[in-house]
Amino acid sequence: MFFAGIAFRYRELDFDAGPFLADDALPAKWPIDYYALRGCYDEMERRLGVARAGDDDPWQPPSAPAPMPPHDYDDRGTLIANAGARIGLSPFATPLAINSRSFDGRPACTRCSTCTERACPSGAKGDAIQGILNRAKTTVTIRTGARALRLIGGRNHRVDAVEWIDVAAARRTTTRADNFILAANAVQTARLLLVSTEPWAPEGIGNSSGLVGAGLSFKLSCYLSGRTDYLTESTFGGPHSTVAFSDYYLHPDVPGLLGGTIYQANPVLGTDTSSLRLHVLAGDQPMERNRVRLVRARDEFGMPRVMMDYRTHPRDAERLRFLAERAADILRTAGVHRIRFEPTEFHRGSRHLHGTCRAGDDPHDSVTDRNGRLHDIDNVHVVDGSVLPFAGGVNPVLTIQANALRIARELIGRDRPEATPSIESPNLLMPTY
Ligand SMILES: Cc1cc2nc3c(=O)[nH]c(=O)nc-3n(C[C@H](O)[C@H](O)[C@H](O)COP(=O)(O)OP(=O)(O)OC[C@H]3O[C@@H](n4cnc5c(N)ncnc54)[C@H](O)[C@@H]3O)c2cc1C
């Protein structure tokens, strides 16, 4: 998982209280509230090593103290923060899973390179290997280069085995197990369930609701950038983002009230590195018609290919336009004369994939229960971004990981009643600073 390091928590909304979504959207309310996740967020922040501000962010949910103080704004971040403050916004340090000082045996970030799409050469950026796998107390076997092809059902509406292929050796194997945890992302997990048909699951395992694959969400996004005379030096390297704004997360001027986040997103290598650049991000409405589905064409392993159907809702398009105009206000105030609009073409697919195995209490409008267990089957759980009914207007990694941790604890509690599921790991001490 090469992520830019941005580590927000989900900002819970009271969906009963507002006209946030269009009438034809799928339910966006989660089956759990923020407090069910809070301890797991705290633990994941410590495991990854998150540096963030205390309460500068108006939307920061309650939490344990941050493991590390935030990063200082870089040159671009300072210009953007000052401009935002001048027009009445509340800039805050982008929460980052990147060490602002040495932490947990790993060094502080020296801004030696760019963080997006790259592994960190110094180890200052947190990741799942350092934060989770290297700390495992039991032996974990990972088969790299293996692709799960389908789940094989048994009797009694359970899954007995997974058929997978060692891609390099082109060798197929079937592995039996008592429990199956799917974490292949919102497109591939849905595909795996849809291809796995049984006489008792003709539309795919776990799909009695017809919703496996539906509610595909990509996040609405775009970038705005431009040169300013105030950026005297074209520095490069270090965190992709050091300042963010959540002032428009909910705002009376946004269509449906529901806005999103605006944050600094430094130009990537090979582009115009002398620009200020902002990313606009908002959660898209979960629509039943936006979905992952199978087509007749087959891939190199003889499995059906996937097609993603996605049409931007007109209300979502209006929301994105509103946020882009606000981002342009910030850039203009920072001295940018010619603002470049960079569409992301999110409607063709994105880095943020959610919603295709939506979690909920009602088996008629969701695929899994609150703990990621398929409603239809006892021994298959989903723990990736596909279970989020709505991912909010922030970057999702920390939420996906906190939720996966919560589900893992639930599973341990269920299968080993003698083991007390603990959220706070005793060997992880809160640092002082
Ligand atoms: C360049 C980039 C930068 C990003 N930066 C950020 C950021 O700063 N902050 C943030 O919050 N989010 C960021 N994201 C988004 C974030 O990485 C994703 O939202 C997140 O990784 C999704 O987690 P997931 O568990 O749902 O799926 P994934 O992380 O995609 O994990 C799925 C895994 O399953 C494997 N897989 C798929 N199909 C199969 C199969 N059939 N058999 C076996 N294995 C399979 C895949 O290879 C992959 O390893 C970024 C994404 C990208 C691409």
Which phi and psi (to 5°) does residue 419 adopt?
A: -85, 120
Name the pTM for this structure: 0.94
192, burial (CB in 10 Å: exposed 0-12, middle 13-18, buried 19+)? buried
The alpha carbon of 208 is separated from its chain's Cα centroid by a whole number of angstroms, namely 26
pLDDT at position 417, please? Answer: 59
274, burial (CB in 10 Å: exposed 0-12, middle 13-18, buried 19+)? middle
| Distance between Cα 181 and ligand 1 center (Å) | 16
Q: Which atom of ligand 1 is nearest to the CA of 383?
A: 25
393 lines ligand 1 (CB under 6 A): no
Residue 7 and residue 48 in contact, taking contact as beta carbons nearer than 8 Å: yes
158, burial (CB in 10 Å: exposed 0-12, middle 13-18, buried 19+)? middle
Q: Which residues are designated catalytic?
A: 352
1 lines ligand 1 (CB under 6 A): yes
User: Which amino acid residue places its CA nearest to atom 13 of ligand 1?
Assistant: 3
Residues 303-328 pLDDT 10s:
999 999 999 999 999 999 999 999 99
For the record, the structure tokens of 160 come out as 């007995």
Query: Would you kindly state where each structural domain of the chain is located, as residue ranges?
Result: 34-136+183-415
Please say whether the dihedral angle defined by the alpha carbons of residues 110, 111, 112 and 115, taken in this order, is positive or negative. Answer: positive
Q: Which atom of ligand 1 is nearest to the CA of 188?
A: 38
115 lines ligand 1 (CB under 6 A): no
| Distance between Cα 403 and ligand 1 center (Å) | 15
User: Which amino acid residue places its CA nearest to atom 50 of ligand 1?
Assistant: 3
The whole-angstrom separation of Cα 283 and Cα 220 is 6
Q: Which atom of ligand 1 is nearest to the CA of 395?
A: 11
Q: What is the mean pLDDT of each run of 10 residues along the chain (433 residues)?
A: 85 84 91 96 96 90 95 95 98 97 94 78 89 84 94 91 96 96 97 97 97 97 93 77 96 89 87 87 96 97 96 94 97 96 90 96 97 96 97 95 95 68 35 25
Query: Which residue is it, tokens 């270090």?
Result: 238
| Distance between Cα 183 and ligand 1 center (Å) | 9
356 lines ligand 1 (CB under 6 A): no
Contacts of 11 (CB under 8 A, 6+ apart): 59, 61, 246, 249, 392, 393, 394
User: Which amino acid residue places its CA nearest to atom 48 of ligand 1?
Assistant: 184
The whole-angstrom separation of Cα 147 and Cα 17 is 43
6 lines ligand 1 (CB under 6 A): yes
184 lines ligand 1 (CB under 6 A): yes
> How far is the CA of 398 from the CAs of 38, 44, 45, in angstroms?
11, 7, 8
Radius of gyration of the chain (CA): 22
3-state SS assignment for residue 209: coil
The whole-angstrom separation of Cα 330 and Cα 262 is 10
Residues 402-423 pLDDT 10s:
999 999 999 988 766 555 444 3
Give the DSSP letter of residue 303. P
Task: Please report the DSSP string for 174-207 in residue order.
Answer: EEE-S-EEE-S-HHHHHHHHHH--BTTBTT-TT-
What are the DSSP E strand ranges found in 111-168? 146-153, 159-166
